[in-house]
Amino acid sequence: MGSDDKLQKYRDKRDFRRTPEPQGGGGSSSEKPVFVLQKHDASRLHYDLRLEMDGVLKSWAVPKGPSTDPSQKRLAVPTEDHPLEYADFEGVIPQDEYGGGVMIVWDKGTYRNLQADKDDSRSMAESYEDGHIEIWLEGEKLSGGYALIRTGKEDDSRWLLIKMKDDRADARRNPTSTEPKSVLSGRTLEEVREQAADEGSEES
């Protein structure tokens, strides 16, 4: 399945005359696959975890956001594939658009498939199908091993995001509260919201 087919659900949910979100189709795949965590103040505040996989961003909504503490299992609910360009998106999404609200790029970097190093040399696509992903993140806020484990067998079932035990694990860190700013623009969600409101009032 090409990335255009995979993005059908994403496009069906959005009116690109109204939302500033990218339509997708361009995109550039770098040597190392990208991960991003977007902080999204929609009807409920959550974090969107996205992993570059076969030309799209596989996506999960993580209500509590990631933890650096291996004892904290965080619920991760799969959402539709997003285009690669989405990894750099921050801004205000109109309220009547699916998933409206304000979004910033809370963390971004590259990742490595830890299971490709093992004997079974599983691809990310295979790991995703199996519902057991292990990756090494190199972000600005998050780094080290993270596991994503599906808790049921159906495609739409829930996953858990868990920090693996390694030298990057730290039960005392709490980056979602101590490091709230965008790694792209240095802005908080509130600053993005205020800037958009200012620009809107200048136009009218």
Taking CB atoms, the residue at the shortest distance from Mn ion is 40
Which amino acid is residue 160, in one-letter code? L
How far is 140 from 198, CA to CA, in rounded Å?
Answer: 29
Which amino acid is residue 49, in one-letter code? L
x/- contact string, 123-162, with Mn ion (CB under 5 A)? Answer: ----------------------------------------
Q: Locate tokens 């189709």: which residue?
A: 25
Taking CA 128 as the corner, what is the angle to CA 73 and CA 78, rounded to the nearest 5 degrees?
60
Q: Which is nearer to Mn ion, 48 or 52 (CB)?
A: 48
Q: Which is nearer to Mn ion, 66 or 144 (CB)?
A: 66
Residue 74 binds Mn ion (CB under 5 A): no
What's the closest the beta carbon of residue 97 comes to Mn ion, in angstroms? 11
Residue 48 binds Mn ion (CB under 5 A): yes
Q: Which is nearer to Mn ion, 105 or 122 (CB)?
A: 105
What's the closest the beta carbon of residue 99 comes to Mn ion, in angstroms? 5
How far is 188 from 127, CA to CA, in rounded Å?
Answer: 34
Segment interacting with Mn ion, rule: CB under 5 A, options 39-47, 89-97, 129-137, 139-147 = 39-47
What's the closest the beta carbon of residue 189 comes to Mn ion, in angstroms? 12
How far is 179 from 83, CA to CA, in rounded Å?
Answer: 26
CB 12 within 8 A of CB 29: no
Residue 122 binds Mn ion (CB under 5 A): no
What's the closest the beta carbon of residue 79 comes to Mn ion, in angstroms? 7
Which amino acid is residue 138, in one-letter code? E
Q: Which is nearer to Mn ion, 65 or 144 (CB)?
A: 65
Residue 40 binds Mn ion (CB under 5 A): yes
Residue 110, classified by CB atoms within 10 Å of its CB into exposed (0-12), middle (13-18) or buried (19+), is middle
Phi, psi of 66 (to 5 degrees): -75, 155
Applying the rule CB under 5 A, the residues between 88 and 107 that interact with Mn ion are 99
Please compute Rg for the chain using Cα positions: 17
Contact residues toward Mn ion (CB under 5 A) are 40, 48, 99
